[in-house]
A = this chain, B = another copy of it.
Amino acid sequence: MKSCLLLSLLLLAACTQVPGGKGDFQAGDRAAIIDLQHRYVLAMDYFDADGYAAVFTPDGVLDWAGGEVKGRDAIRQFMASGTYDLRKLNFKPAQTPDGKEWPSTVRHLVTNQVIEIDGDHARAISYWMNYANNADRHKIEWLSFGSWDDELVKVGGKWLFKRHTIYNEGNAKRFTAGQSNPLER
């Protein structure tokens, strides 16, 4: 009995660093949040309105240069509407050598995540940039850059955006230049 109790206590010590807890730096939660951000981008870049809306909570808010879009349904409609289609910028049509249409591509990089997790709530600060080959399919043209300040919640074991705020250093109303470290704000 004593040895079993001792063994159990040793196990308890070994298990205090449970995954999702502080002991492993919440590695699973961090990976899930970053995966969510990347699914958001993939859906955006491939114009998948359902996939784009699916990363938000039902009452989630997209807060971007064009204003606030509130709720998953409105967010789906926003993406489906083509309002945010950067392929139009400086676009020139192109064909493959065998005469097929060659559409252009817009892509978003998301990097440099700093994530702070408190139970089922989290905040993530990230850098984003976007680029395209709209004018010349063989050339990369950089479009704009900024940061995200995301509020996330874990619902039923799954992380989702509650508020996705997009700052843009090339937009007079959305830049953060001159401000203090966002981790201090």
Interface size class of A (residues with CB under 8 A): 35 or more
Which residues of chain A in 40-70 are interfacial with respect to chain B, using CB atoms and an 8 Å cutoff? 41-43, 46, 48, 51
Report the minimum CB–CB distance from A132 to chain B (whole Å): 9
Report the minimum CB–CB distance from A20 to chain B (whole Å): 6
Q: Is the CB of A169 within 8 A of B114?
A: no
Q: Is the CB of A96 within 8 A of B31?
A: no
Q: For the complex, is A107 an interface residue (Cβ under 8 Å from B)?
A: yes
Q: Tell me the bound Cα distance from A144 to B107 in angstroms.
A: 12
Query: Which one of B7, B30, B129, B133 lies within 8 Å of A31 (CB-CB)?
Result: B30
Flag A2-15 by CB within 8 Å of B: 1 or 0 each: 01110111111011
Q: For the complex, is A24 an interface residue (Cβ under 8 Å from B)?
A: yes
Q: Tell me the bound Cα distance from A7 to B26 in angstroms.
A: 24
Query: Which one of B17, B30, B172 lies within 8 Å of A102 (CB-CB)?
Result: B172
Q: Is the CB of B115 within 8 A of A35?
A: yes
Q: Tell me the bound Cα distance from A42 to B185 in angstroms.
A: 13
Binding site for B on A (CB under 8 A): 1, 3-5, 7-12, 14-21, 23-32, 35, 38-39, 41-43, 46, 48, 51, 96-98, 101-105, 107-115, 125, 127, 129, 131, 133, 137-140, 142-145, 169-170, 172-173, 175-184
